[in-house]
Structure 1
């Protein structure tokens, strides 16, 4: 038996391949460059082909890639596959697959998954069906390519991300058992749901039963496929030590490898280009603030921001607003602070009045309604929005004589939001400080991105990145460019107060002191790039292959228990 096997071919699948939805897109798209260097064009990503009638900005079609196989798969297996390359550094090969036709086989697919593995799809609803049909299609695509190109003599890895791709992993185990399987959960469905439903997760983690909580939280099917995938693959991984604890408790399998999320820094401007990008970002942020507030804010104001998905409690958005509220009431504060909440919500679009003021089509003036001073885009249900409710109930006014102003940017910052019209990174670089007081954060790309852009940041011990930073020797305070606050189920007020204190102390620092912190933040991020973290994936591949050799040496048995 090969005691140190390495893969000859790797297939990796995710709903977020060439489909920018959340953090997993960042994981895969930035890791692709490092993998492509190791496995040049023997690495294949598989994503959903859901851009009917629209151009996919992340996919570059290339019909010269495997045309004979594509034709064969269409004629003999009914698979509709487009080949191309992912428009990211490394430009790996991508297969985009349509999966709609599998809906007519859904009941049979679910029945087989129940009989073979014990996956309970009966209570399924919502995105479970789309995800499962796509996952099933990826299994067929991998099997088709494998058999057509006669890869049986080679070491082949099939890597599936999140519960959405669980059925693909199980399909491969049953139908192409020689392929070694890897399954990565980036967050357990039950852990995220417990936290999102305001139930205490950490103090009672060891007392929770995953199956019972799945029934209680109406998550039975998602939990079921996630658990069965985790228990059946050759190598199970997750992204942080804190999520590994959830996996052991809820999925009843300890991850074989923890694969932390790295970041590709090659596109971040350096030297004078960085200074110019930062200057331009501040100009944009302050310019929009002026048109929104109806007066020119102090050009030396401290720009503080938080961002991420709209998970009000899990991402610590509530703690961020509370901290800014505490800071607002601090009489010793001698510097203006503008706090930006860059969190996509359910919006109608850019505020037309604000857009016209920015373009000079309307005179700049104070907003006619006090609520208009806080938000850049129009919400569908402003009265029910949790961020706006907390801003109002806290007593913010954004008056000129207030030291702390707060601005909610509820749009995806993709370069065409109608107000800023630049991507998120082109605004992030203009911040002085970022704050991510997460309650549930398996990794935490937002603080990771911040330090990569030389932005000092505050996060918590409940974020995987925060725990990693602690291991690197994080010291108390911001003197090393990051502060990791201890957070648990019951210290919300203490966390908010500590953030307020840290931001206040930061506001007293000189330009020279802040520049030192920026350099230290960037230095920390150098330890967390893919150059350092790709080794964990190589370890996962070796373990998957090794465990598959052991599995294949035993009588074949499906795990439906």
Structure 2
């Protein structure tokens, strides 16, 4: 099966599309990337017939939402503006404006807190009509249910504004927006409903707590397990949305199984996720960008390791993994096992070079490790001292060269003042240490019970000088404001050589796709939606720098050995082969552009318009 090409004609020119998501102008999780990256391809087809609908949280929205003022709103003549004006006439706090992302889509944001005075009635109706229970002390559920009530009102008003044969499509993402669906159906609001679950809520919890999740999926008692994990309300909302929608969809063939057994409905369509590849395109610059950002990582590595011992940075590979801290689900356990085996192989092989492996995730911490912070600060001082000496020697050498009749190079040491010699020596003396470089960059709140630290301590993978695989565990996002890296996450990715994401549970998985878009090879697994899609749709994917670890119906040992072999083959590539591989990766990323993958959404919308 080949990746479909985007359809050149607009779907249903008489229809309006409202895409409803909790992450519209509200960055919470991975759905934000899905929605935001898809906007340009959607706007290209739907244009003025498209708008997004989400909750209005002023603090979150202020950096990326530009509301229309009263004059602008009064001059707009489209149905979305008519519906917003009508809601305002009824006293609702609702905003219409532009999302300041590529494509600049129209956005309607509704403040959920304005319906809190009706929460008692909303909760009663959800229980009475749909069997959805709501506890009294869960503010997220209150926000979700209040927003669902207001989203229903907006769609009621919008459908009343449109003139046949114009129709309204509403596409809801995830359980947080799905509250509106059962009531829209019960009240027979003339809107064609699509619901997408990107990962069943219960599936994520079960996978985190059951190492044999896929084997036990068919025997799950959804209601009992939802109560066990204290997510009964959310799971019941998700089920109601799945059953109430005209078209029910999910993001991969893997999550189809979850939907069948946990939500009791077979999805009508699979909607794979893509990226707006144009955002990542650097034309012929991506190799230069790799060098530029690798140099920034070199600076971090020197500060982190060279205080204790040094190694050849030109013969060092930077590998990384990133994502939500789910030790088993994200495959951190498998990655660590393979790294320990790779370390042993490298030690036994006699091959030159080192591997530095970064774990980038988010964990509660007190502060950056003072030792790590001080080492970086002292190295910066070393750099400033060296630059001062360099300037002084440069000026004096230039003068000596012009004035001298001797063509031999003079004694450069004599051109450095004693002040700078002393400062150079003292700075290095204060920096060097005999202690091992720390594995983790921060002081965790619960260091003793951290699974990554537990593994590296048991495996003695603690950055010994003889270890050929070094570990850097960074339990915070990489950002330009970080005193350790001082760069964007995307820049960090470009500076690395390989991304490793052998997930056990991953409904889609953007991280390897983001690597490919930046010309960085990546490892995924056949238990991630992306990896499964690659296996089914991308011929010769390994030649394109996308490697898939087999975890379906494989033991942990088998998968660990396969991943170790992949890493072993990678570290043996020479520089020329790695450059060719990055070229292949970057050129293949077009396969995952929304312009090509949008056709799956188009088909789902066409199907929804047929059903009512």
The answer, yes or no, to whether TM exceeds 0.5 is yes
Which position in structure 2 is the counterpart of 1:50?
57
Which position in structure 1 is the counterpart of 2:556?
492
Structure 2, unpaired ranges of 5+:
1-10, 75-80, 383-426
Which position in structure 2 is the counterpart of 1:556?
none
Higher alpha-carbon deviation: 41-50 or 437-446: 41-50
Which position in structure 2 is the counterpart of 1:555?
none
State the distance in 1 between where 2:486 and 2:156 align.
43
Which position in structure 2 is the counterpart of 1:320?
335
The partner residue of 2:593 within 508, 526, 529 is 529
Of the two, which has the highest radius of gyration?
A: 2
CA contact 1:320–1:437 (8 Å) conserved in 2? yes
1:471 aligns with 2:536: yes
State the distance in 1 between where 2:483 and 2:154 align.
39
Higher alpha-carbon deviation: 430-439 or 332-341: 332-341
- C-alpha displacement at 1:367, in angstroms? 6.9
The partner residue of 2:88 within 59, 74, 87 is 74
State the distance in 1 between where 2:235 and 2:366 align.
33
State the distance in 1 between where 2:482 and 2:181 align.
37
TM-score normalised over the length of structure 1 = 0.89
The partner residue of 2:376 within 338, 358, 368 is 358
User: Secondary structure of 2:592's partner?
Assistant: coil
Which position in structure 2 is the counterpart of 1:551?
none
The partner residue of 2:47 within 40, 51, 66 is 40
The partner residue of 1:22 within 9, 14, 29 is 29
CA contact 2:21–2:53 (8 Å) conserved in 1? yes
Which position in structure 1 is the counterpart of 2:68?
62
- C-alpha displacement at 1:512, in angstroms? 2.1
Structure 1, unpaired ranges of 5+:
549-561
State the distance in 2 between where 1:267 and 1:422 align.
18
Give the number of the structure whose residues are more often helix, by fraction: 2
- C-alpha displacement at 1:357, in angstroms? 4.2
Q: Matches of residues 457-468 of structure 1 in structure 2 within 5 Å?
A: 457-468=522-533
State the distance in 2 between where 1:492 and 1:103 align.
48
CA contact 2:40–2:103 (8 Å) conserved in 1? yes
State the distance in 2 between where 1:182 and 1:30 align.
19
State the distance in 2 between where 1:536 and 1:214 align.
31
1:422 aligns with 2:490: no
State the distance in 2 between where 1:175 and 1:368 align.
73
Which position in structure 1 is the counterpart of 2:225?
213
State the distance in 2 between where 1:324 and 1:135 align.
46
CA contact 1:239–1:442 (8 Å) conserved in 2? yes
Which position in structure 1 is the counterpart of 2:389?
none
Post-superposition, which runs of at least 4 consecutive aligned residues in structure 1 deviate over 6 A? Answer: none
Higher alpha-carbon deviation: 442-451 or 135-144: 135-144
State the distance in 1 between where 2:14 and 2:519 align.
36
The partner residue of 1:390 within 455, 470, 477 is 455
User: Secondary structure of 1:44's partner?
Assistant: strand
Label 1:203 to 1:55 Cα distance change in 2 as closer, same or farther (>3 A): closer
State the distance in 2 between where 1:340 and 1:328 align.
15
Label 1:518 to 1:155 Cα distance change in 2 as closer, same or farther (>3 A): same
The partner residue of 2:513 within 448, 453, 469 is 448
Higher alpha-carbon deviation: 481-490 or 358-367: 358-367
Q: Matches of residues 102-113 of structure 1 in structure 2 within 5 Å?
A: 102-113=115-126
CA contact 2:132–2:233 (8 Å) conserved in 1? yes
1:340 aligns with 2:358: yes
Which position in structure 1 is the counterpart of 2:391?
none
- C-alpha displacement at 1:415, in angstroms? 3.4
User: Secondary structure of 1:266's partner?
Assistant: helix
Higher alpha-carbon deviation: 228-237 or 322-331: 322-331
- C-alpha displacement at 1:13, in angstroms? 1.5
